[in-house]
């Protein structure tokens, strides 16, 4: 991509440019914001560094690139962490600046910035980029600061301190010193006082005088003066005010260009400088998607199916059409509109949604689905953060569904913590669209489906499905660390989707790789965290026709994150059993029942259950019948009577496991039944079976947990599912997540 680089003069923005070039992008312009008054060195701003702004004008000549500058006229008016367009705010100066760059250089598609740890800065850059249709590049984001500082010095960045404001840093001693000279001392201060060695806490600021991107010249600071802002005895604050400097031309331009395989950049001797003023001429309208509202949907009556669990705190709501004939985009538009209507009817909105499962019938239409999705779910409707999401292709049409099927997890409150990083970085894959990496709500971390994407390039890793799985787990771990936990010790459930293109032998490699990587992560995390608390997670492998980007695997973890109020996690711990027998439909407890049950109970509050009903177990459930022999041309058929009995057994066993662990059907947040497509049973046939089983259980147990006429479960058609990657051949797989309130 062609990139405009935001430059403050500091080391971070310069190194961010170098990283952008390393990953194949081309810097075509520079952009800088400076004080309204030239005599002012520093502004009271959380957003911009301006110390040394007098020298930035020469960056254009040093790099041979056009430099666009704007004087900051706004102030920090919108001081909340998240940002929305606010007239008079200093962020609008950045918008005006980048809008002019885009107008002058239409080929610009991305913006580079040096954000390392500040969500405040990153979110504002991402907001401006989103409004202008630009991609944010933040290659330093979440990187280890000690390693990062050393990389900057080793790469050839020559930067001096122009501000110090931390315990142990003395303006008289440390201003104007090169980073290479101060590195050891900064690490000593980190050990003593916990400072950020890259200055992310405002401990110090730098001015870059030379770097490998300065092809034409380096900057030489001839004269400066120290200006004290505070003479505090513990942490004095001082800045370096440049009085005189000059450029020193570089003779061996070609040699510098070859360092680190830097991208071929124009090296003309002089770069142009443009000062950007307020102007209405040539202003481009920012992108605003169409706003489809539930009350403006078409008046055509559709046959539809809706389900909802009973949990009063967090419940799942799903919707699909029974009379689909309109194609994916139209089906998805209707489904999203109906869900929005249901939410409004319950007094909720999209801001209450924690997670979305998007099932589509054709991954070739993934971009079309996103176009429709963004018309309903976007930042303006979700001020607390957009929901996390998983998208997979499943055999919907073949199983009697519409071409789009949505399941949303809804909370009755808005106390969620959303992680949504839109910038491309080395940290984890970006979520440029209206869906977030993860959503934490009341101790449960719902993570978006993770592909094996290389974060800085956003390309799938090469080397096969096991390599993709390893990267997907690493990406999941990067997200988990933002919540001070690890997927290796805090995961409740792993759902791992596998594409049908993955061969049987490759599936076995996937499972071996998964076990190895999680074991290594666990050892590393327990050493770093100095804790021995860990959960024993459940695993569910699901075989599907296709995944986004033609990926081989997608990993979807659910984690438990301690908030300090819960007791020590009780993983796989037996809780008090009910004394009331539950031998419904004549089923009796059998030793083999344990072979199809996976469960994880956490703190007596959260319960996850997975039931795996294989063909062999289906035969046992149906006594002397032989459903496993009903194979015709590769299609596995099952008599309706057998499936009815299997559905009752699933309900019986779920009820028993929940009762034994002091959970009820009213505690269920989500319940899915994965059904093999080869059974040749439509949703219209299967849903009444499970509904009848639940109704009969309700009658027999004298416990009314039905939700009116709506089912409390979702049917998900798949090619296969199972507890291991090598045997995804369950007849039925149940996935349940419950939480007490």
Q: Over the stretch 126-142, which tens digit does the pLDDT of each residue have?
A: 999 999 999 999 999 99
- The backbone torsions φ and ψ at residue 98, rounded to the nearest 5 degrees and listed phi first, read -70, -30
Contact between 497 and 554 under an 8 Å Cβ cutoff? The reply is yes
Tell which of 361, 393, 414 closes a domain: 414
Same domain, residue pair 494 and 521: yes
Is the pLDDT assigned to residue 259 strictly greater than 50? Answer: no
- Say if 548 falls within a structural domain: yes
Asked, for residue 631, whether it belongs to a domain, the answer is no
Are 168 and 41 in a shared domain? Answer: yes
Q: Which of 60, 9, 11 is nearest to 266 (CA)?
A: 60
436 and 410, same domain (yes or no): no
In this predicted structure, which of 6-10, 68-72, 204-208, 707-711 has the lowest mean pLDDT?
A: 707-711
Residue 708: pLDDT over 90: no
488/531 same-domain check:
yes
Average pLDDT, the chain: 87
Domain contains 587: no
Span 14-32, average pLDDT? 97
Percentage of residues in the chain with pLDDT exceeding 70?
87
- The Cα 15–Cα 734 span in angstroms is 50
Per residue in 209-229, pLDDT (tens digit) is 999 999 999 999 999 999 999
Sheet containing strand 204-210, strands side by side: 204-210, 158-164, 237-249, 217-230
What percentage of the chain carries pLDDT values higher than 90?
Answer: 69
**What integer is the mean pLDDT of 439-463?**
96
In a domain, 21, yes or no: yes
Residues 369 and 475 in one domain: no
pLDDT tens digits for range 367-412: 999 999 999 998 888 888 999 999 999 999 999 888 999 999 999 9
- pLDDT by residue (tens digit) across 640-679? 889 999 999 999 999 999 999 999 999 999 999 999 999 9
Question: Would residue 585 count as lying in a domain?
Answer: no
* pLDDT number for residue 197: 96
**Nearest by Cα to 53 from 245, 218, 323:** 245
Q: Please report whether residue 539 resides in a domain.
A: yes
pLDDT > 70? residue 326: yes
- Whether 556 and 666 map to the same domain: the answer is no
Both 402 and 422 in one domain: the answer is no
**Does 145 reside within a domain?**
yes
Residue 565 has pLDDT above 70, yes or no: no
| Residues 233, 307 within the same domain | no
Query: 429-454 burial, b for 16+ CB within 10 Å, e for fewer?
Result: bbbbebbbbbbbbbbbbbbbbbbbbb
Q: Are residues 363 and 471 in the same domain?
A: no
Phi, psi of 347, deg, nearest 5: 85, 20
pLDDT at residue number 428: 94
Average pLDDT (513-542) is 86
- The pLDDT assigned to 84 comes to 81
Judged on CB neighbours under 10 Å (0-12, 13-18, 19+), 598 is buried
Lowest-confidence region among 99-113, 324-338, 413-427, 536-550: 324-338
Indicate whether 596 belongs to any domain. Answer: no
Condensed to tens digits (0 to 9), the pLDDT of residues 605-640 reads 999 999 999 988 998 888 644 444 454 554 556 788
Higher pLDDT, 23 or 52: 23
Print the domain residue range for 719.
606-625+637-740
362 plus 425 within the same structural domain: no
- The total of structural domains in the chain comes to 4
Is pLDDT at 583 greater than 80 in this prediction?
Answer: no
Q: Quote the pTM value.
A: 0.88
Same domain, 82 and 43: yes
The pLDDT of residue 414 is 85
Confidence of residue 279 (pLDDT cuts 50, 70, 90): low
Q: What CATH number is attached to the domain comprising 655? A: 3.30.1330
- Which residue stretches of 67-118 are H helix? 91-104
Identify whether residues 115 and 154 lie together within a single domain: yes
The enclosing domain of 410 has a CATH number of: 3.30.1330.40
CATH of the domain at 131: 3.40.50.620
Helix 683-701 to helix 640-660 angle, to the nearest 10 degrees?
50
């Amino acid at each position: 991509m062609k990139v405009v680089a935001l430059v403050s003069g500091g080391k971070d923005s310069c190194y961010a440019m170098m990283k952008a070039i390393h990953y194949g992008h081309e810097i075509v312009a520079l952009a800088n914001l400076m004080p309204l008054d030239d005599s002012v060195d520093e502004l009271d701003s959380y957003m911009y560094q301006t110390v040394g702004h007098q020298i930035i004008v020469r960056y254009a000549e040093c790099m041979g690139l056009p430099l666009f500058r704007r004087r900051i006229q706004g102030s920090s008016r919108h001081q909340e962490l998240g940002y929305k367009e606010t007239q008079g705010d200093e962020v609008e100066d950045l918008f005006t600046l980048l809008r002019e760059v885009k107008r002058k250089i239409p080929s610009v598609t991305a913006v580079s910035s040096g954000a390392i740890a500040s969500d405040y800065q990153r979110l504002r850059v991402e907001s401006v980029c989103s409004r202008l249709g630009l991609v944010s590049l933040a290659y330093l984001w979440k990187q280890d600061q000690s390693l990062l500082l050393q990389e900057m010095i080793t790469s050839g960045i020559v930067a001096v301190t122009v501000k110090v404001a931390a315990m142990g840093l003395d303006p008289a001693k440390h201003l104007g010193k090169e980073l290479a000279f101060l590195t050891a001392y900064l690490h000593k201060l980190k050990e003593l006082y916990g400072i950020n060695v890259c200055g992310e806490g405002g401990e110090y600021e730098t001015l870059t005088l030379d770097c490998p991107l300065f092809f034409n010249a380096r900057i030489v600071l001839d004269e400066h003066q120290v200006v004290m802002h505070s003479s505090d005895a513990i942490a004095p604050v001082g800045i370096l005010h440049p009085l005189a400097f000059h450029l020193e031309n570089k003779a061996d331009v070609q040699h510098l260009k070859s360092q680190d395989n830097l991208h071929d950049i124009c090296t003309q001797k002089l770069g142009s400088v443009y000062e950007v003023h307020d102007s209405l001429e040539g202003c481009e309208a920012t992108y605003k998607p169409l706003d489809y509202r539930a009350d403006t949907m078409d008046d055509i009556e559709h046959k539809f199916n809706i389900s909802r669990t009973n949990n009063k705190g967090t419940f799942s709501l799903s919707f699909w059409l029974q009379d689909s004939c309109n194609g994916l985009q139209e089906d998805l538009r209707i489904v999203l509109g109906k869900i929005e209507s249901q939410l409004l009817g319950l007094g909720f909105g999209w801001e209450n949604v924690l997670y979305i499962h998007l099932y589509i019938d054709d991954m070739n239409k993934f971009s079309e689905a996103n176009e429709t999705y963004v018309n309903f779910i976007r930042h303006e409707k979700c001020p607390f953060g957009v929901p996390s999401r998983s998208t997979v292709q499943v055999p919907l049409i073949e199983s009697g569904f519409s071409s789009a099927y949505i399941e949303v997890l809804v909370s009755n409150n808005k106390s969620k913590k959303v992680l949504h990083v839109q910038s491309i970085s080395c940290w984890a894959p970006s979520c440029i669209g209206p869906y977030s990496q993860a959503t934490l709500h009341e101790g449960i971390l719902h993570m978006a489906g993770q592909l094996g994407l290389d974060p800085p390039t956003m390309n799938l890793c090469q080397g096969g499905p096991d390599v993709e799985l390893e990267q997907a787990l690493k990406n999941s771990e990067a997200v988990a660390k933002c919540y001070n936990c690890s997927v290796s010790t805090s995961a409740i459930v792993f759902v791992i989707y596998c594409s049908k293109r993955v061969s049987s032998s490759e599936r076995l490699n996937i499972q071996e790789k998964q076990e190895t990587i999680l074991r290594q992560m666990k050892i590393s995390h327990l050493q770093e965290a100095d804790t021995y608390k860990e959960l024993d997670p459940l695993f569910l492998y699901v075989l599907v026709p296709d995944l986004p980007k033609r990926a081989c695997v997608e990993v979807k973890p659910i984690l438990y994150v301690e908030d300090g109020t819960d007791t020590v996690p009780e993983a796989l711990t037996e809780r008090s059993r009910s004394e009331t027998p539950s031998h419904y439909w004549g089923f009796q407890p059998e030793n083999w029942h344990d072979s199809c049950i996976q469960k994880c109970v956490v703190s007596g509050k959260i319960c996850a259950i997975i039931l795996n009903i294989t063909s062999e177990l289906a035969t046992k459930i149906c006594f002397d019948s032989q459903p496993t022999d009903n194979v015709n041309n590769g299609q596995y058929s099952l008599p309706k009577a057998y499936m009815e009995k299997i559905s009752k057994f699933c309900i019986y066993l779920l009820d028993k496991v929940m009762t034994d662990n002091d959970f009820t059907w009213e505690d269920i947040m989500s319940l899915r039944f994965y059904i093999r497509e080869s059974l040749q049973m439509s949703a219209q046939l299967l849903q009444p079976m499970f509904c009848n089983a639940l109704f009969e259980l309700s009658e027999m147990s004298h416990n009314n947990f039905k939700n009116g006429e709506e089912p409390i479960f979702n049917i998900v058609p798949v090619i296969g599912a199972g507890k291991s990657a090598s045997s995804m051949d369950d007849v039925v797989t149940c996935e349940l997540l419950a939480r007490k309130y």
